[in-house]
Structure 1
Amino acid sequence: MRKVIAAINMTLDGSCDHTAGIPDEEIHQHYTDLLNSGDTILYGRITYQLMEFWRTILENPSDKKSMNDFAVAIDKIPKIVFSHALKDVDWDSARLSDQAIEEEVLELKQQPGKDILVGSRSLIIQLMKLNLLDELQLCIYPVISGTGLPLFENIKDRTLLKLINTKTFSGGAVMLYYGPGAG
């Protein structure tokens, strides 16, 4: 059975604002490797539209190899977008889901293939509530933003997690890998 792996960046004070962190070459490479280890990524509308930025890097490459490599990886991986507002998507590797997230994820988990990645705050919250996450990867930037959306907003039930790995980046960010906890 395929694993569902959620990965997201956040600040020390829990903000998921994508502009608050400082992604460097090492972090771009980490996420490129993660994308290459999966064969599907799930997005909500807002994150999907933010990720469309990487299409511009494909058209006009950066002077940074790590950004170009990430752009290629994000372009290549199939994307499933959950949105009530979008009527279509024009990225060749993307499609709109026609199912509820629970049904889509349960169906994907039964299919052969590599890991299913989740890259949107809203979907992470929904999948946590449904107990459908196998791993949660939190990249904590050494930044206090003072604003932004908290990752764990609207989660009312106590959720136990088990730390399964850590990775420290030279720029000071730390990746914490969590699996389901006991209880």
Structure 2
Amino acid sequence: MGKIIAGINMTLDGVCDHTKVTPDDEVHHHYDQLLREADVILYGRITYQLMEFWKTILEKPTGNQSMDEFAVAMDRIPKIVFSRTLRDVDWKSATLAKRSLEEEALALAQQPDKRILVGSRSLIIDLLRLDLIDEFQLMIHPVIAGEGLKLFEDIRDRKLLKLIKTKAFHSGAIIHYYEPAEKQIGN
């Protein structure tokens, strides 16, 4: 079976907005490694279009090794984009989803040892509601945004999670790794 991993950056107050946090070299290196170990990443339209920034870094490297390496990893990983408005994508490693999120996630998860990343807030919420997330990797940055879209603000059902581990960064950011507690009960 494959593993569906929800990974996202957020502030202390739960806001998921790339403009509210400032990743450093160590954070970029972490996500570079995560992308290199994954087989595919699922994005919604908005996040996908934000990630297209990394194509510009490929075309004109910054000289910052961690950013440039992250751009290469982002270019390499296959991306499946879920959108009701995009008609095509011009990143050669990206394709528009042809099935629903649930159908696509289930099909990918049926493949042995497949590592499926989910990098969009909306998709994480939808997959959480479907009980299809096997692991959460929530990087919490030491910032209070004060406003913005919160990761779990639309979740109304109680979800129990089990902390697997944490990883601290010099910047003060901490990744919390969780598994759904319900999946642990059956093991």
Give the superposition deviation at 1:63. 2.0
1:135 corresponding residue in structure 2: 135
- After TM superposition, the runs of 4+ consecutive aligned structure 1 residues lying more than 4 A away are none
SS where residue 19 of structure 1 aligns? helix
**Paired AA for residue 94 in structure 1:** A
Counterpart position of 2:5: 5
Inter-partner Cα distance in structure 1 for 2:132 and 2:181:
13
Q: Secondary structure at the match of 1:162?
A: strand
Give the number of aligned pairs.
183
Letter of the structure 2 residue corresponding to residue 164 of structure 1: I
Distance in structure 1 (CA, Å) of the matches to 2:78 and 2:112: 15
Q: Over aligned residue pairs, what C-alpha RMSD do you find?
A: 0.9
Number of the residue aligned with 2:27: 27
Corresponding residue of 2:69: 69
* Percentage of matched positions with identical amino acids: 64
C-alpha distance in structure 1 between counterparts of 2:153 and 2:103, whole Å? 23
| Cα contact 1:39–1:113 (8 A) shared by 2 | no
Q: Distance in 2 between matches of 1:101 and 1:15?
A: 23
Aligned to 1:87, the other structure's residue is in SS state coil
Gaps of 5+ in 1: none
After superposition, the C-alpha distances for 1:90-129 in whole angstroms (9 at most, x for unaligned) are 1000000011100001011112453000000000000000
* Structure 2 unaligned residues grouped into runs of 5+: none
Q: Distance in 2 between matches of 1:75 and 1:180?
A: 30
Find the aligned partners of 1:53 and 1:145 in 2 and give their Cα distance: 22
Residue type of the alignment partner of 1:27:
V
Does the CA-based 8 Å contact 1:75-1:93 persist in structure 2? yes
For 2:49 and 2:142, the matched residues in 1 are separated by 26
What residue identity is the alignment partner of 2:138?
Answer: L
Instruction: Give the equivalent residue in structure 2 for 1:110.
Output: 110
- Contact in 2 for aligned 1:121/1:151 (Cα 8 Å): yes
Q: TM-score, normalised by structure 1?
A: 0.98
Q: Which amino acid aligns with 1:114?
A: K
